């Protein structure tokens, strides 16, 4: 069986998880007896666009297709013009029984359509969310996670936000998005506005229309696939929610090459040495490396951190490297697949701090194969890989404090480290995955061609050979023809080299096609060079003509120059005289300017003085107004005080009269009391004690009533004096105190 594996990059040019996995898968399938042809793009400025080169690997072949040009629009990102036709040439040469797509980014969905057009069965392994998200990561350009599916308006908002970021000249390759806190305030606000779900659709209706058409094209292409494989249940559910038929999507967990990893010695815990945390993967913002560095910062003296990462996002990588240097982190950059075992041997705990909907990182399975526990972000898909509290620890994505606390636990609790490490289970091998894939291939790929019914026995052998020949590649046909010619030459006794005038390699169509393509490319380049030379020759001829004309005019120019020199001498004398006049004018002008400056200064001083005087006038006017208001208030108080003073004098006179009456009454009362005493004594002698007591008690009761009336009158007078004392302002009190009432009032105050 011949299988074509299609991927968006391949080692040694691309060495991240998917590319490395496909390379291992191709080798493993080859070991199972499958003929594997890998189709992958690469850049090569020395070759024309879409040129194809086939090279042999261990157990399989790789056909590189040159893809130098960068897509100029969203439509070209979805389907690169010319790539599908070039892939058709590859299919024509290799004649695969089945095509297994692992990614079509950088290649285009046209490859899926070309495969279906030729009636070749196809499988697609979804390593990310590209079939339902044109950004592949289900994250918006501000790196917030997105759960909106089948909504072209939401996708168009992302498109407009990406266009906005692309217009900011400082961004080079920011991959999935930018961290909002890294933007200036104005740009951060604009990015948030562009992504706002309540944004009116009228503002980006063209983007919605374009994105709707592109999403439909992508869906129609993916609907042509016979089977879709998803490494996790979560990704399968997302694909179904995004529009895929449930019966076409099957979970197929990754397998890994684990023999070298299982042979590693288990890590030591923090009770014997400093614990070493490690990160392996891309230095991409959505991978959360910045979160890891901040979580590690307080632990710099308690543990070690080793980072093996790199990316083309140079600005982000540079910032990470500076921060890592501040924290004493061991930054080691990218590594080759062959170095994986030694890299894992140098760490104790793997950390996967992703802030996006991470799917099924190969590195988690590789760490488990090496008996290394894992701290990972708690996302739905990662829960299928890491069992929280069993073989690892899950923390909320992007939570620096939670990640720090998990790392601190590994340092403080050696028993936790031993428990998790002991619970790590063996991982699925790549060999097991290949065996299951072969079963799937066998169900989809056509078997040996069947003979049509009714073929005579005499023609069966010839028909079988024809059907077999139809399955051969052009290279195999050329090889068969060459072998047939050699056999014929031998049977005829002819030199075999004469029967094979053309080398078999030169019969392969890809060489002819690439030769034509390269010739056209070189002719185009040479044509541009010849045109440039022709333009340069014409320019030189024009310059030569100009030089001749300049030489012919040289004598006339010299004569004109001599006359000009004579005239210039005369002009020079006139100029000297003019300069003297100008100097005098300059002096006069300078004097006038100084006078003008002095006048301007004086005018400025006068203006300042006028402003100050105006201020004083305003203050004086305000003070006059305050005095006027105070005078009116004083007049009102004086009028009230005079009336009060008159009432007080009347009250005082009445009080004095009442006092005189009371004094007279007391004198009479005293005299009467003395008379009563005398009478009481006389009566006592005459009538006895009881009668006198009765008479005396009756008089004293009347006297007591008079005293009570006097006390009430005195209290009333005291109230009048107190009111007079309180009445009026300070000026009124000063006036009252100079009157007779005032003197009596002072006397009352001294007596009380």
Task: Give the separation between CA 51 and CA 452, rounded to whole angstroms.
Answer: 39
- Assess if residue 102 is contained within a domain: no
Q: Is residue 147 part of a domain?
A: no
The pair of three-digit structure tokens given for residue 238, joined into one six-digit string? 């997302």
* pTM: predicted TM-score of the whole model, two decimal places: 0.65
**Same structural domain for residues 740 and 642?**
yes
Please identify, among 409, 427, 445, the residue that sits at the C-terminal boundary of a domain. 427
Do both 307 and 390 map to the same domain? yes
Task: At 541, list the tokens.
Answer: 């001829």
Task: From 515, 534, 552, give the residue that closes a domain.
Answer: 552
pLDDT class of 131 with cuts at 50, 70, 90 = very high
Q: Are strands 303-310 and 275-282 parallel, antiparallel or unpaired?
A: parallel
Four-point Cα dihedral 18, 19, 21, 26, nearest 10: 140
Same domain, 614 and 696: yes
In a domain, 22, yes or no: no
Residue 133 in any domain: the answer is no
Q: In terms of pLDDT, which residue wins out, 607 or 733?
A: 607
pLDDT digits (tens, 9 = 90+) for 296-306: 999 999 999 99
How confident is the model at residue 276, as a pLDDT?
Answer: 95
CATH number at residue 344: 3.40.50.2000
Q: Residue 598 domain-assigned?
A: yes
- Please tell me the distance from the alpha carbon of residue 82 to that of residue 110, in angstroms, as a whole number: 9
Give the span between the Cα atoms of 435 and 418, in whole angstroms: 34
Work out how many domains the chain is built from and give that number.
3
Tell me the β-bridge partners of 308.
Answer: 280
Predicted confidence at residue 345, as pLDDT, reads: 94
Same domain, 558 and 690: yes
Residue 251 has pLDDT above 80, yes or no: yes
**Residue at 290 is within a domain:** yes
Q: Helical H runs in 95-204?
A: 110-117, 152-166, 185-195
Same domain, 659 and 514: no
Q: Do both 597 and 548 map to the same domain?
A: no
Check whether residue 692 and residue 735 sit in a common domain: yes
The length of the chain is: 752
3-state DSSP helix/strand/coil % of the chain, to nearest 5 = 60, 10, 30
For residues 561 and 674, membership in a common domain is answered with yes
Residues 546 and 687 in one domain: no
Check residue 476 and give its pLDDT.
60
**527 and 379 assigned to the same domain:** no
Residue 533 lies in a domain: yes
* Bridge partners, residue 125, by sequence: 229
Domain extent at residue 299: 272-427
Is there a single domain that holds both residue 362 and residue 291?
A: yes
| Residues whose CB falls within 8 Å of the CB of residue 141, separated by 6 or more in sequence, listed in order | 158, 161, 162, 165, 176, 177, 178, 191, 195
Q: List pLDDT tens digits, range 136-174.
A: 999 999 999 998 999 999 999 999 999 998 888 666 677
Q: What is the predicted pLDDT for the residue at 406?
A: 97
Given 427, 461, 477, which residue is the final one in a domain? 427
517 and 418 belong to one structural domain: no
The mean of the pLDDT values for the chain is 81
Nearest alpha carbon to residue 207 among 161, 260, 160: 160
The proportion of the chain whose per-residue pLDDT surpasses 90, expressed as a percent, equals 49
Q: How many Å is the maximal CA-CA distance in the chain?
A: 200
Q: Is 615 within the bounds of a domain?
A: yes
């Amino acid at each position: 069986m011949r299988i074509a594996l299609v991927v968006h990059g391949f080692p040694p040019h691309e060495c991240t998880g998917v590319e490395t996995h496909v390379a291992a898968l191709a080798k493993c399938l080859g070991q199972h007896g499958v003929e594997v042809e890998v189709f992958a793009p690469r850049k090569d400025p020395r070759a024309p666009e879409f040129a194809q080169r086939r090279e042999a690997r261990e157990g399989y072949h790789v056909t590189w297709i040159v893809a130098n040009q960068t897509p100029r629009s969203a439509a070209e990102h979805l389907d690169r013009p010319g790539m599908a036709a070039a892939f058709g040439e590859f299919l024509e040469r290799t004649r695969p029984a089945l095509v297994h797509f692992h990614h079509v980014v950088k290649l285009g969905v046209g490859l899926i359509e070309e495969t279906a057009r030729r009636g070749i069965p196809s499988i697609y392994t979804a390593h990310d969310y590209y079939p339902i998200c044109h950004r592949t990561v289900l994250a918006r350009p501000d790196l917030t996670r997105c759960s909106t599916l089948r909504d072209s308006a939401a996708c168009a908002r992302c498109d407009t936000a990406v266009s906005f970021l692309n217009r900011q000249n400082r961004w080079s390759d920011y991959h999935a998005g930018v961290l909002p806190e890294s933007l200036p305030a104005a740009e951060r606000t604009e990015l948030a506005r562009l992504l706002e779900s309540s944004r009116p659709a009228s503002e980006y209706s063209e983007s919605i229309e374009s994105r709707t058409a592109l999403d439909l094209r992508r869906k129609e292409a993916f609907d042509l696939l016979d089977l879709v494989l998803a490494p996790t249940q979560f990704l399968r559910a997302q694909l179904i929610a995004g529009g895929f038929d449930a019966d076409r999507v099957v979970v197929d967990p990754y397998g890994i090459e684990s023999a070298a990893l299982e042979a590693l010695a288990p890590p030591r815990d923090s009770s014997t040495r400093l614990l070493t945390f490690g990160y392996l993967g891309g230095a991409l913002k959505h991978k959360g490396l910045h979160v890891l560095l901040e979580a590690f910062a307080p632990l710099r003296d308690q543990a070690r951190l080793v980072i093996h990462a790199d990316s083309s996002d140079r600005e982000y990588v540079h910032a990470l490297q500076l921060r890592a240097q501040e924290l004493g982190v061991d930054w080691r950059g990218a590594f080759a697949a062959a170095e994986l075992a030694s890299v894992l041997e140098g760490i104790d705990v793997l950390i996967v701090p992703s802030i996006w909907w991470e799917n099924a990182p190969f590195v988690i399975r590789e760490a488990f194969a090496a008996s290394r526990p894992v701290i990972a972000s708690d996302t739905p898909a990662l829960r299928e890989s890491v069992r929280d509290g069993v073989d690892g620890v899950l923390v909320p994505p992007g939570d620096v404090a939670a990640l720090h606390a998990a790392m601190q636990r590994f340092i403080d609790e050696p028993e936790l480290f031993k428990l998790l490490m002991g619970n790590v289970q063996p991982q699925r091998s790549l060999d097991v995955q290949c065996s299951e894939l072969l079963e799937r291939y066998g169900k989809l790929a056509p078997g040996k061609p069947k003979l049509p019914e009714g073929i005579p026995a005499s023609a069966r052998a010839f028909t079988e050979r024809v059907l077999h020949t139809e399955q051969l590649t052009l290279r195999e046909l050329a090889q068969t023809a060459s072998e047939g010619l050699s056999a014929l030459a031998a049977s005829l006794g002819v030199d075999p080299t004469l029967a094979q005038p053309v080398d078999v390699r030169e019969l392969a169509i890809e060489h002819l096609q690439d030769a034509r393509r390269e010739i056209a490319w070189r002719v185009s380049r040479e044509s541009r060079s010849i045109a440039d030379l022709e333009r340069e020759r014409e320019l030189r001829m024009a310059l030569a003509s100009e030089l001749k004309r300049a030489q012919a005019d040289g004598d006339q120019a010299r004569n004109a120059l001599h006359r000009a020199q004579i005239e210039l001498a005369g002009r020079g004398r006139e100029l000297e005289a003019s300069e003297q006049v100008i100097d005098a004018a300059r002096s006069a002008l300078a004097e006038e300017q100084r006078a003008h400056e002095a006048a301007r200064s004086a005018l400025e001083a006068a203006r300042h003085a006028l402003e100050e005087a105006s201020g004083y006038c305003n203050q004086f006017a305000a003070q006059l107004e305050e005095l006027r208001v105070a005078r009116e208030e004083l007049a009102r108080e004086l009028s009230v005080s005079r009336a009060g003073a008159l009432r007080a004098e009347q009250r005082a006179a009445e009080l004095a009269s009442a006092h005189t009456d009371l004094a007279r009454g007391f004198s009479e009362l005293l005299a009467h009391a003395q008379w009563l005493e005398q009478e009481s004594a006389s009566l006592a002698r005459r009538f006895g004690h009881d009668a006198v007591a009765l008479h005396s008690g009756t008089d004293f009761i009347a006297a007591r009533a008079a005293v009570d009336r006097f006390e009430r009158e005195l209290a009333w007078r005291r109230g009048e004096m107190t009111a007079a004392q309180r009445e009026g302002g300070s000026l009124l009190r000063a006036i009252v105190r100079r009157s007779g009432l005032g003197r009596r009032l002072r006397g009352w105050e001294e007596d009380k």
